[in-house]
Amino acid sequence: CYPIGVISMIDSGSNDEKIIAIPFGDPIYNQYSDISEIPRHKFEEMKHFFSVYKTLENKETVVNDISGKEEAMRIIASTIEAYNRKFLKK
């Protein structure tokens, strides 16, 4: 998979980022390189899903912001670095 964007949200009161990625071999979506290129309807479906997916657990989610590929790559790099600091201490 390769990242095309990130949806920043509040999930049960905490900040949460959802990386949106496309499988390399996906014949429907592998033409997209940034979340801004996704058809509006599909994009709205993703936003709606993340706004309601925890309703049955009586938890609240709020979609705040959508960012492109560069922000997704920054978040991924930062998360890998944090993981390495915590679990691969040398």
List pLDDT tens digits, range 10-22: 998 899 999 999 9
The answer to whether 35 and 43 have CB atoms below 8 angstroms apart is yes
Closest CA relative to residue 12, chosen from 47, 57, 45, 44: 57
Structure tokens, 35? 């979340």
Distances (CA, A) of 21 to 4, 14, 48, 55: 6, 22, 17, 24
Distance between CA atoms of residues 7 and 68, nearest Å: 9
Question: Given the structure tokens 């997916």, which residue do they identify?
Answer: 53
Q: What is the pTM of this model?
A: 0.87
pLDDT computed for residue 52 by the predictor:
93
The pLDDT value recorded for residue 80 is 96
What is d(CA 44, CA 63) in angstroms, rounded to the nearest whole number?
A: 11
Query: What is the per-residue pLDDT across 29-50, written as a single tens digit (0 to 9) for each?
Result: 999 999 999 999 998 999 999 9
Give the amino acid at 44. Answer: E
